[in-house]
Amino acid sequence: MFKLKISNLKEALQLSQNWATHTISLLDPDIENDILREIPVAGKGGKLQRYYFYDLYPKDKDLSLLIFLRGESVMATSEQLQELLALTAPLKSTDKLLVHCHAGVSRSTAVACAVLCQHGLTPSQAVKYVVSIRPQAHPNKYVLTLFDDILGLKGELVVAGTEEIVIFKKKHFTSLFRR
């Protein structure tokens, strides 16, 4: 299995250039107009792919406000996520995959879970692994739903990433404090 890191935008600046062989950047559509900070680029010989969509769920109150303010809604699409999976399908054990979004909590952790499932982990195993390397993980439910459909997981990825994760985190972190 490939090596995996999940990070926020700030951490990704260094990791994409000095660690990753493959970087998946999940960015807000207006990020390049909005900020002066740098956006990660690939290191020498590395591959980087950017996907632009907001960290929203179709029923979010924020979605209506965003459409009102910007005149558009940019949600993740099945086409984007299928393209992403085509990029990650050939990953080998020698590869190092960095997945990042703005905070490293929602979009990136949902994508990481799906890529791990693509490479043979069950949804529960994928979520547990993601939480073990990114304890603050809170996968975006809409992104999980799209991946669940693409990968034919029959709702298991959504359940693992929204319900099982709560139980796992509670058990995992309770056991840490007992030591």
55 Cβ contact list (under 8 Å, min separation 6): 28, 101, 102, 106, 107, 140
Closest C-alpha to 144, from 158, 124, 154, 134: 158
Q: Which domain holds residue 164?
A: 3-178
* Domain total in the chain: 1
Q: Return per-residue pLDDT of the chain as tens, 179 residues.
A: 999 999 999 999 999 999 999 999 999 887 766 554 678 888 889 999 999 998 887 775 565 565 555 556 688 999 999 999 999 999 999 999 999 999 999 999 999 999 999 999 999 999 999 999 999 999 999 999 999 999 999 999 999 999 988 887 777 666 555 55
Tokens of 131: 């939480």
CATH of the domain at 54: 3.90.190.10
